[in-house]
A and B are shown apart, each in its own frame.
Chain A
C-alpha cells in the first residue's frame, strides 16, 4: 500500500527531508514544511529513510535536519537530490 506521505520534514529550517517510502527519480512529490506544502521533483532514486535536499545547498554549507547541523555538504547539492555520504560529511573529527 502506498503511503499518503512521501517524506517527513521535522523543522522548517531543515535543508533535507527524510523519505518515508522508496521514491523513484523523476517523481514529483509534495512535501509539507511547517504548514506549507511544496512540490518537488526528485532527481535520484531515494530509498526509504534516506534523505533528499529541499533547497540548494552549496559546497561547505551546513546541512540541517531536526533544525540542527548534521554535517556539511562536500559538493553543491540541488533540490530533490539524494543527500548521503557521497555529498555530505560529519563536522566532527
Chain B
C-alpha cells in the first residue's frame, strides 16, 4: 500500500527587515502629528500624497509630567512600529514633545525620518506645501525597500477583545488562543493587554507565568490598576459578572476573566511590559494597558505588533492605519449582522459545524495571509483610530 503524505501548504510570509532587527509586514509612510493641533495638517498632506497614512493623534499638550513621558514614549514607538517604512513628523512647535525632539528619538529605528513645525513653516498652508514635498520624497525612498522571506518567529500579534458576549470565552477567545499557541511555539510573540480583564484571573496567570518574578509583576500590575481606580471611589472587583452576564450563564468573576484571557493561549506569560513599550523577549507578553479599544491597541502598536486580532461578540469597525486588524466574532447572529466588519465567524463552534481547533487553525492561516498582504475588513475600509492612554488628568 502506498503511503500518501498530505503536506500542509505553508503560506510563505515575506516582510520588510528593519535595521533594528524587527520585521514589518506593511511598508507605510507615516505622517505623525506630535499634537492634536498638527493632525489636520497631516490629514491634508495625506490627502495629497498617495502612499502615505496618518494617525489621528488627539493629545500631546496640557498634560502632567507623567503623561507627557507616556505620550512621548508612545508616539516615538508608534513611529518605530515595524510596519512603518518612513516617517514625517509634523508638530505645531510648542507642544510637549516637538517634532524635532520626536524625530531625533525616532532616528534610532534606522528608517528615513523628516520633520516640520507649523509655526516655523509659517502657518497651515506653508506647512502643508513643505509636508507634501517631504512626504513625496519619503514615499520614493520607502518604495526602494523590497520584502524578504520572513517567518512566524518574526510575528508579534496583538490580542484584544471588545463588546464581548457570554460565548466569547468559549468560542472566539479560545480559538484565538489555539492560533497564538501555534505562533508562540514557532518562536513568535503575542501581546495581551486589558489589565482590568485580568482581575479574577491574575492568580492563575501568575502561577502559570514563566518565572516567579514575572508572576509577581502580573499581580503587582493588576493591583496597581485596581488601587488607581479605587482612588476615584470605584471597585473593580465587585459587580462582575454583571446581571446580564449572569443570566447568560457566567457565574463568577474568575470565569469571566479567564474567558477573556483565553486569547493568550496556554503557554506561560514570559514578560510584563509597560504601556507602549517594546518587549525585549519573545513569547506571550502582558502589557500594562487599559481595556478600551483605542488606547489599548495603540499601546500594542507602539509595542511593535504588526498584526492585531480583535475578538468581539457584537462587532466593531475598529482599525488603525499602520497595522491590519483581524476581527473574529463569537456568535453567528452577530456575524450575519456585522459581516462588513468581520473576518472570521467563531460562532460555528456553538453550532457544532467546526471545532475550536478548526477555527483556531483558520485564525492562524488568516494571520499568515494578512502578513503576506491580504487585507482584513478594517484595513480594506480604511478604519483609523489611535489614542494614547492618559493615566492622570488633562490640564
Are B251 and A49 closer than 8 Å at their CB atoms? no
Chain B residues with Cβ under 8 A from A65's Cβ? 255, 258
Tell me the chain B residues, 204-252 only, with Cβ under 8 Å from chain A.
204, 237, 246, 248-249, 251-252
B169, B170, B251, B356, most chain A CB atoms within 10 A? B251
A84 to chain B: which residues have CB within 8 Å?
Answer: 246, 249, 251
When the two chains form their complex, are residues A88 and B249 in contact, meaning their CB atoms are under 8 A apart? Answer: no
A88 engages B352 (CB within 8 Å) = no
Partner pick for A71 among B166, B204, B252, B350, CB 8 A cutoff? B252
- The yes or no answer to B327 lying at the interface (CB within 8 A) is no
Q: Is A44 an interface residue (CB 8 A)?
A: no
Q: Of B253, B350, B352, which is within 8 A of A90 by CB? A: B253
In the complex, what's the smallest C-beta–C-beta distance from B179 to chain A, in angstroms?
15
Query: Contact between A66 and B251 (Cβ–Cβ < 8 Å)?
Result: no
Complex CA gap A91/B202 in Å reads 12
Contact A66 B259 (CB under 8 A): yes
Q: Chain A binding site: helix, strand, loop or mixed by DSSP?
A: loop
| Separation of A51 and B252 alpha carbons in the complex (Å) | 12
- B52 touches A (CB below 8 Å): no
Task: Determine whether the beta carbon of A70 is less than 8 Å from that of B255.
Answer: yes
From 138 to 155 in chain B, residues with beta carbon under 8 angstroms from any chain A beta carbon are: none
Most chain A beta carbons < 10 A, residue from B246, B249, B262, B353: B249
The one of A18, A68, A92 that contacts B170, using a Cβ cutoff of 8 Å: A18
Taken together as a complex, chains A and B put the C-alpha atoms of A47 and B237 apart, in Å, by 27
Question: Does chain A have a CB within 8 A of B349?
Answer: yes
Q: Which residues of B, 265-297, contact A by the 8 Å Cβ criterion?
A: 266
Kindly state the separation between the CA atoms of A84 and B245 in the bound complex, as whole angstroms.
12
A38 lies within 8 A of chain B by Cβ:
no
**Contact (Cβ within 8 A) A92 B356:** no
Across the interface, do A90 and B252 meet the contact criterion of CB distance under 8 Å?
yes
Contact, CB under 8 Å: B249 / A66: no
Separation of A83 and B250 alpha carbons in the complex (Å): 10
Indicate whether A91 sits within 8 Å of B251 (C-beta atoms), given known contacts A8-B349, A20-B352, A85-B246.
Answer: no
Residues of A within 8 A of B258 (CB): 65-66, 68, 70
> Which residues on B sit within 8 Å (CB–CB) of A43?
none
Contacting pair A5 B249 (CB below 8 A):
no
Residues of B within 8 A of A92 (CB): 200, 237, 252-254
Q: Which of A27-50 contact B (CB under 8 A)?
A: 47-50
Chain A residues within an 8 Å CB radius of B167 = 49
A46 vs B289: C-alpha distance in the bound complex, in angstroms? Answer: 37
28 contacts between A and B (CB under 8 A): A3-B351, A4-B352, A5-B352, A8-B349, A8-B350, A8-B356, A10-B170, A19-B249, A20-B349, A20-B351, A49-B249, A51-B249, A65-B255, A66-B262, A67-B266, A68-B201, A68-B204, A68-B258, A70-B254, A71-B254, A84-B246, A84-B249, A88-B251, A88-B252, A89-B252, A90-B253, A92-B253, A92-B254
Q: A50-B249, A68-B254 are in contact. List 4 more A-B contacts (CB 8 A).
A: A10-B170, A10-B174, A66-B262, A90-B200
Interchain residue pairs A-B with the least CB separation, the first 8: A4-B352, A5-B352, A90-B252, A50-B249, A70-B255, A49-B249, A71-B252, A20-B350
